[in-house]
Amino acid sequence: MNEELRQWIDENCFTVEDALHKAFEKVWEDGEYLKAECCGKGIRYWSGLLGPDMAKCIICGNEIRWILSPHVSPILIDYDKNCTSMPNEEFIKEIGDKQWQVIIKNNSESEEK
């Protein structure tokens, strides 16, 4: 992994639980699951073939994205070439459990965290 990508992951990516807490107002455990609320409502979740892709507050726009998902990952999607990559095992081991990008929009003021 190149140094620029490593720095981006270190600055923008977190464990799923940490990402939920950074992006949304209320996070709690319900049995085996983590649940979240933001702006007084539940969070909208999307999933794909490999599992969960992202979660987003439909009111303020704050969201978390799974960076290993070929559907939403800013590091796997190459818009210039119109293609998507799949992560290899070495990459997955290197990033560990910091696999969730946090994006704070605060009612359309887009600021990536």
DSSP string, 2-46: -HHHHHHHHHHEE-HHHHHHHHSSEEEEETTEEEEEETTEEPEEE
The domain in which residue 34 lies consists of: 3-105
Looking at residues 28-48, what average pLDDT do you find? 91
Q: What is the CA radius of gyration of the chain?
A: 14
103 three-state secondary structure: strand
pLDDT tens for 50-107 read 778 999 999 999 999 999 988 888 888 887 888 888 888 998 999 999 999 999 997 6
Q: What is the number of domains present in the chain? A: 1
Inside any domain, residue 60? yes
Inside any domain, residue 92? yes
